[in-house]
Amino acid sequence: MAGGNKCVVVIGIDNILRYGLFHLIETECMKRNFVPVYSANDHDLWIRIPEQHSGPFRLAILCLGTDDFFPTWFSTFLTLLRKTNGNVLIFTDSHELLNKRKRNLIARVCELEHILDASMPVSYLSFLVEYYMSRECSVRGSFKMSMRELSVIDGFLNGIDAVCHSSWMGISTKTLYQHRKNCANKLGVRNLKELLRL
């Protein structure tokens, strides 16, 4: 298996709206000798990619459909941000899937320049996939939140118990709750529970 920097991760089930995108990804990967790794969800992804890969992934593309539950895919998005140093593309089956509030939440986490959808011209999609595969990302330039804050939100969305999560992070439970409060403020919500209702 190639190192992480040679892996292009695609999360989402292949359907008629994504067929062209998946073909573009494979074409660009072949040109650069990258390895495309497809997975229906992020849980299956970690089974497909062994632990011995080194470094971050080159690019991650998160494909969203009408059946995707916001807290689940937002958690996946946060994980992919960390695993790619912010080099993530979101592709939606319809631009209506991401309402203003969800786009605002994404914008508060990182600077996501492009959100792709199935109605875009193929030439534009091809240009963006090629651009994202060739660019180098730095964590500092794209994130608006710290890695610890992203981990706190991700843990909450995945239902990790506060005591276990604080122990895993090496902080007190009180500190974890303070981090959660700070994250909610940065996201513009009263508390992180609001994310579960979007």
More confident residue, 194 or 48: 194
This prediction's pTM: 0.85
Q: Report the topology of domain 4-142.
A: Rossmann fold (3.40.50)
Q: What is the pLDDT of residues 137-180, one digit of tens each?
A: 655 556 788 889 999 999 999 999 999 999 999 999 999 999 99
Q: Rounded to the nearest 10 degrees, how much is the dihedral formed by the CA atoms of 68, 24, 5, 98?
A: -30
Using CA atoms, how far apart are residues 89 and 128, in angstroms rounded to an integer?
9
Instruction: Specify the pLDDT at position 50.
Output: 56
Mean pLDDT of the chain: 87
Q: Report, as an integer, the average pLDDT of 53-65.
A: 83
Nearest to 116 by CA among 29, 44, 10: 10
Task: Pull the structure tokens for residue 168.
Answer: 């895993």
At 1 the pLDDT is: 43
Cα angle value 66/133/26 (rounded, 5°): 65
What pLDDT is attached to residue 144? 86
What span, in angstroms and rounded, lies between the C-alpha atoms of 139 and 111?
A: 11
Q: Find where tokens 């632990």 sit.
A: 51
The torsion defined by the Cα of 13, 19, 21 and 24, in degrees rounded to 10, comes to 120
The pLDDT score that the predictor gives to residue 4 is 59
d(CA 37, CA 106): 24
Domain definitions of the chain by residue range: 4-142, 147-197
pLDDT recorded at residue 88: 92
User: In whole angstroms, what is the distance from residue 128 CA to residue 132 CA?
Assistant: 6
Residues ≥6 apart with Cβ < 8 Å to 31:
none
Please check the confidence at residue 70 and state whether its pLDDT lies above 60. Answer: yes
What's the pLDDT tens digit per position in 12-52? 887 888 988 999 999 999 999 998 988 887 766 766 665 54
Q: What's the pLDDT score for residue 140?
A: 52
